[in-house]
Amino acid sequence: MTIIRSGRFAHVDAKVLILSIGPMSRTVLREMNKTVKISKMENKQPVIVERSGHAVSRKHIDPDALKVLYRLYRHGFKGYLVGGAVRDILLGKSPKDFDVATDARPGQIKKLFANCFLIGRRFRLAHIRFRGGKIIEVATFRKEPDEAEEVETESPERNNTFGDPVSDAFRRDITINGLFYDISNFSIIDFVGGLSDIERERVCIIGDPHERYTEDPVRILRVLRHAARLNFSIEEKTASAVASHRHLLMQCSGARLFEELNKDLNSGFSSSVFQLFHKFCVMSCLLGKVGAYFEDTPGASEKLFELLGVADAAAVSGKKLSQDIIYTLLFWYWTEHVIASDTSREQDKVKLLGDAFLALDMTIVIPKSLKAGIIQTSCILDRMYAAMRTSRMRWSLKKRARYTDASIAFSIIEKSRILPAKDPFEEIFREKYPSAPGRYTRRRSRKKKRQA
């Protein structure tokens, strides 16, 4: 990897910078005369990796993303591929999303692209839509807003705190996501030490972790998520600050945390992510008493990780499980515990689990329909386990809407895999009780017509 020197700015370096980074030189030189808030940004010169020194090629970039980058460049704007796409290509992975950052304002972007739609109120983002539902997100460089700028005004445009590449890089969460690919000269620009952390295979938050976690506690989840997905270590200060700030997650929006959790459960790495959640005692901050149950009950978390591993394997193979099944697996050992601990057998199990959910004190807000699905599927699972103990199965349960989900979940719990059968539970049941009574339909007796 060929790297142009990185160190402190000095007038003697100016010529090197101009030759290395071309159109970016004016911006960088202007930064020499600014007072920057973040300590890491003070007197910081970017690491520039020329085209011959890195593995990022245009053939690895989505053609529509290239169209966006080139059109911005041709009209005199900076166009950078940013974030996870650069990171994944450097690691030999295929990026899922291709995000673009530019110095063009949202209104200017919209004029360049007829297929552009602006979203957001506080900060406007440009979504450029292509065939097949593909969206390339284009954002204007941002910076940390001053206190005077944080006051909302009637004009949404005034709420936008636009910046430059340096300030935009330092607003990002972790260093490995702060890399820029410059379409003008095909170089990689690193202001935050992301290249070094990729080589060291570690996740490091940008700036002081105490300040960054306090500003946005969801960054804790993102640090753990990327460490799990990439199998990277976590930088010491970044990791140690999680313990003293994880309680701040309970102050976050429950709907936002639900969205973040969905990303992890559908990523194909949910087992690894939850192992780190358990290691850093984050589960109880997200799932309340459910998380506390898995943290405090010996062996429960290991069983959960095994179930999530099956869901991950299904996601990787392209046979992703439904949201209802995944959440049923996530809550199953807790719901099983609640049902088993009920002393009154006459208690309505649906009501029992409903009351238990109300008392969970979960930070995450789960939609009512999903919660009802978890409860109903868990109750059918409980009946299936009773049938496995007694050889008596109430086959009328097949008529219930959640039976199929319960059948698939049962095979995952019992066999640690998804059986290819149409009804996995029935196949497992028949394997154990081949002579058990099957399904039958009760015939109604017909009354003889009275003879006149």
What does the DSSP 8-state code read for residue 10?
A: -
389 phi, psi to nearest 5 deg? -85, -35
Task: Please report which helix (H) or strand (E) contains residue 194, including its range.
Answer: helix 194-200
Give yes or no for a contact between 360 and 294, defined as CB atoms under 8 angstroms apart: no
> Which residues are CB-contacts of 137 (< 8 A; sequence separation ≥ 6)?
97, 99, 100, 125, 126, 127, 128
> How far, CA to CA in Å, does 70 sit from each of 164, 171, 183, 184, 217?
19, 25, 7, 8, 36
Quick check: is 348 catalytic? no
What does the DSSP 8-state code read for residue 123?
A: S
Quick check: is 173 catalytic? yes
- Active-site choice (13, 168, 173, 182): 173
Report how far residue 423's alpha carbon sits from residue 288's, in angstroms, rounded to the nearest whole number: 34
- Active-site choice (62, 97, 208, 423): 97
What does the DSSP 8-state code read for residue 110?
A: H
**141 closest CA partner among 208, 77, 193:** 77
Q: Which two tokens stand for residue 243?
A: 């313990």
**333 closest CA partner among 310, 304, 291:** 304
Report how far residue 266's alpha carbon sits from residue 391's, in angstroms, rounded to the nearest whole number: 35
Q: What is the SS3 assignment for 98? A: coil
Would you mind telling me the total number of residues written for the chain in this entry?
Answer: 452
140 phi, psi to nearest 5 deg? -75, 145
Region of 268 (left: φ > 0; alpha: ψ -120 to 50; beta: rest) is left
Quick check: is 99 catalytic? yes
Q: Which two tokens stand for residue 80?
A: 């950078």
- Active-site choice (99, 103, 182, 324): 99
Give yes or no for a contact between 439 and 429, defined as CB atoms under 8 angstroms apart: no
Report how far residue 70's alpha carbon sits from residue 406's, in angstroms, rounded to the nearest whole number: 50
CB atoms within 10 A of CB 64: 18
Report how far residue 98's alpha carbon sits from residue 83's, in angstroms, rounded to the nearest whole number: 8
- Residues 285, 290, 296: CA angle, nearest 5 degrees: 85
Q: Which residues are catalytic?
A: 97, 99, 173
